[in-house]
Amino acid sequence: MFACCCVAEEDAKEIEISPTLPAMVVPEAEAKAPEFGEFKVELQCYDFSSLGVTLDTCAQPRVISAIDASSALAKFNEQNPKLRIEVYDALVAIDDVEDAKGMDEKLSKLPESLTLKVNRPRQVKVAFKKTGGLGVKLDWQPKSLGVVVTEMQGTGHIADWNKEHPSQAVSVSDRFVELDGKRLLGGEMLDALKKEKGDNTITLTVLKY
């Protein structure tokens, strides 16, 4: 005797097979230089004999004071506008070489590519009426980008500013590069500061590395 078990059509369940969806490709975020702080870029140099930078040697780290328009760096800036390297950026390392002599050797004969580590400064505007001394010691060269703070004193306009604006306090190694919006070289900045006095408010643009 044979028995047969059947499933009624009304009890059968349909199984729907969903089509396989392609994986969503999320594009990588485009690299962009920070507003301030350190970042790295890689340059292709095989068509160039020079990186094309002039470095301000007044203090460490050395700061870029000019970029040759027909250089490897200028070409990089043209092709990578969001990663462009600018005047006032500090050159911290080349291929992980951080000492000045080693970096100069790297620049003397360019390899096919270089990795630059750069520090972009934070800009702070310091405003006060110059009725006395600043209360800082400064280092400079005739053609340096402004002047560099080498020592802080306990009194003076800068000490007063620091007490009132601790998040924007001036410190050793900062640079004064503009006076009332005008870029000045080292000797020019000192002369201008000496002449300023009285009730007029002056504004210094300070670069913090």
pLDDT tens track for 77-125: 999 999 999 999 999 999 999 999 999 999 998 999 999 999 999 999 9
The token pair at 49 is: 């004999």
Model confidence, pTM: 0.82
Please check whether residue 90 is in contact with residue 34, taking contact to mean a CB–CB distance below 8 angstroms: no
Which pLDDT belongs to residue 61? Answer: 87
Ramachandran region, residue 173 (left: φ > 0; alpha: ψ -120 to 50; beta: rest) = left
Candidates 135, 140, 148, 124; CA nearest to 188 is: 140
Candidates 36, 55, 51, 77; CA nearest to 145 is: 55
Which pLDDT belongs to residue 30? Answer: 75
* Cα–Cα dist 142/144, whole Å: 6
Please check whether residue 176 is in contact with residue 137, taking contact to mean a CB–CB distance below 8 angstroms: no
